[in-house]
Structure 1
Amino acid sequence: MPNIHLTKQMEEYVDGQIKSGAFSNVSEVLRAGLRMMMEDDGAREFYRLKAELEEAAAEAERGDYVVFDPVAFEPRAFRK
């Protein structure tokens, strides 16, 4: 893993977090930040999916859909 270079302001913030006792070392602070970013990404993905589902539901309510034909989609699954 490469070395990480922080701005002076970031270093001061990290030092403050360690001095306050919230974290034991720089690695813990950075891991916590990465976890937060990962959670934010997950939340963004959830809301994107939610919006897509809401749009699909609205389309279906307007009658803008095609009836799914499983035999046409996967004919081998229905062979006898």
Structure 2
Amino acid sequence: MANVNLGERFEAFIQEQIREGRYQNASEVVRAGLRLLEDHEAERKRQYDYMKAAITEAMEDPRPTIPADEVFDRLEERLIERMKKNVP
């Protein structure tokens, strides 16, 4: 494939991995890194798809919405009641 300039930092890291015996050559190190990137991107896509589906489901929900102020007021009331019960 193509010749890639990785820069001093990554060149040194690759050489360190080879010196430590973790990999036989630079190609193995790069492939390992690409596998990790591939896994990371697959997980990111899975999370994105999940969130997109959840948002779509929420947007299509026919039930009436509750204004945020009302939700927070209710939560605050519940918190105050719980705090009162814990006070000696």
Cα distance in 2 between the residues matched to 1:40 and 1:27: 20
Q: Percent identity?
A: 28
Q: Which residue of 2 aligns with 1:16?
A: 16
> How big is the shift at 1:14?
0.3
Gaps of 5+ in 2: 65-88
Q: Which is greater in Rg?
A: 2
Which structure has greater helix proportion?
A: 2
Pairing 1:1-80 to 2, within 5 Å after superposition: 1-63=1-63
1:17-42 alpha-carbon deviations (Å, 9 max, x no partner): 11111111100000011111111111
Gaps of 5+ in 1: 65-80
Runs (4 or more) in structure 1 with deviation over 2 Å come to: 59-64
| RMSD, aligned CA | 1.8
Aligned residue pairs: how many? 64
| TM-score, L = length of structure 2 | 0.63
Q: Look up the SS of the partner of 1:8 in the other structure.
A: helix
